[in-house]
Amino acid sequence: MTARAERPGERLPARVGLCAACRHARRVQTDKGALFVRCALSTHDPVYARYPRLPVVSCLGYSVADDADAERSGTEPD
């Protein structure tokens, strides 16, 4: 099995839906290049899927990332 690693310096593509601009989204990419989006809210709240089905079009935990959040999580701010 290929190890997964968070890639904080890379952006999420818009096709992932709301996660592309969410402060809680974390980009996870395998060594083979497969892209996954991990929801940081899932760490503390089981209501949120760890790896949500994409594209996410509705989410109660959605919060727009500011520039600092975007650099840390690999998402693009609005």
Does 23 or 74 have the greater pLDDT score? 23
pLDDT of residue 11: 80
User: Domain segments of the chain: what residues?
Assistant: 4-73
Length of the chain: 78
- Range picked from 6-20, 39-53, 58-72 for highest mean pLDDT: 39-53
DSSP state of 67: H
| CA-only gyration radius of the chain, Å | 12
How confident is the model over 18-46, as a mean pLDDT? 94
Q: What is the pLDDT of residue 77?
A: 43
pLDDT score recorded for residue 9? 56
Give the amino acid at 73.
Answer: S
Neighbours of 61 (CB within 10 A): 16
H or E element at residue 26: strand 25-30
State how far the Cα of 34 lies from the Cα of 77, in Å rounded to an integer: 23
What's this model's pTM, rounded to 2 decimal places?
0.74
